[in-house]
């Protein structure tokens, strides 16, 4: 029986796994009531889903609004923890 060839897609790796905290994209875990952050307008749907999922799992509530920032006029989406 011939040994199977491995493709680059399924290559085995050995070593320590990366720290998962560094991979967190949005700061929901660190937010207190009243904290907010802004994301680009293109991320509107994605951030709404992420905020809803995280809030449901952890008993938090978030407000997600499309805004134009006064300080620089950039169109973005603001995520604020309200409860």
pLDDT in tens, 19-33: 655 566 899 999 999
- Inside any domain, residue 20: no
- Inside any domain, residue 18: no
Instruction: Please tell me the predicted confidence (pLDDT) of residue 76.
Output: 94
In terms of residue numbers, what domain contains 40?
Answer: 31-68+75-83
- pLDDT confidence tier of residue 16, bands split at 50, 70 and 90: confident
- Inside any domain, residue 9: no
- Inside any domain, residue 57: yes
- Inside any domain, residue 39: yes
- Inside any domain, residue 10: no
C-beta separation of 77 from 38 below 8 A:
yes
For the whole model, what pTM was predicted?
Answer: 0.71
- Higher pLDDT: 1 or 67? It is 67
Q: What is the rounded average pLDDT of the residues 49-58?
A: 96
Number of domains the chain contains: 1
Work out the mean pLDDT of the chain and round it to a whole number. 85
- Inside any domain, residue 14: no
- Inside any domain, residue 83: yes
How buried is residue 37: exposed, middle or buried, by Cβ count under 10 Å (0-12/13-18/19+)?
middle
């Amino acid at each position: 029986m011939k040994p199977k060839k491995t493709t680059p897609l399924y290559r085995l790796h050995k070593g320590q796994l990366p720290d998962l905290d560094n991979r967190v994209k949005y700061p929901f875990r660190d937010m207190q009531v009243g904290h907010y952050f802004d994301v680009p307008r293109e991320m509107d749907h994605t951030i709404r889903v992420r905020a809803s999922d995280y809030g449901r799992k952890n008993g938090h509530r978030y407000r997600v609004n499309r805004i134009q920032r006064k300080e620089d006029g950039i169109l973005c989406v603001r995520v604020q923890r309200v409860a």
